[in-house]
Amino acid sequence: EDQVTQSPEALRLQEGESSSLNCSYTVSGLRGLFWYRQDPGKGPEFLFTLYSAGEEKEKERLKATLTKKESFLHITAPKPEDSATYLCAVRLRGFQKLVFGTGTRLLVSP
């Protein structure tokens, strides 16, 4: 069965304390892995798309990487405004829908 698992469920960091969020997947035929950020009371906000193992993308303090079995979202020197839930999703070959993980709730304290 196609599955997306995110860890940890929750992460608390001090401002400036770098860390990584994990998204592991067991799917047959990956056609894209997506990272979204979701703030309370809002819809998911698109961050990155990764298509193939070895690919990396960066945006400000965020860097996403992809291997054949997992993706990491690295957060360098986070700030309190980076606090949010980070969702990853995979798109399967032959399907248009995204399968979402349950997310990692990140809290960055000043």
Contacting another protein (CB under 8 A), which of 21, 34, 65, 73? Answer: 34
Pick from 22, 63, 98, 105 the residue near another protein by CB under 8 A.
98
101 near another protein, judged by CB under 8 A: yes
Among the residue ranges 12-20, 28-36, 55-63, 73-81, the one whose residues contact another protein (CB under 8 A): 28-36
Interaction between residue 43 and another protein (CB under 8 A): yes
Among 13, 21, 23, 36, binds another protein (CB under 8 A): 36
DSSP, residue by residue, 61-104: TEEEEE-SSEEEEEE-S--GGG-EEEEEEEEETT---EEE---E
Indicate whether 27 belongs to the interface with another protein (CB under 8 A).
no
Q: Residue for token digits 């819809």?
A: 43
| Of 17, 20, 6, nearest in space to 89 by CA | 6
Q: Is there binding between residue 37 and another protein (CB under 8 A)? A: no
- C-alpha to C-alpha distance for 86 and 13, rounded to whole angstroms: 14
The reply to whether 91 sits near another protein by the rule CB under 8 A is yes
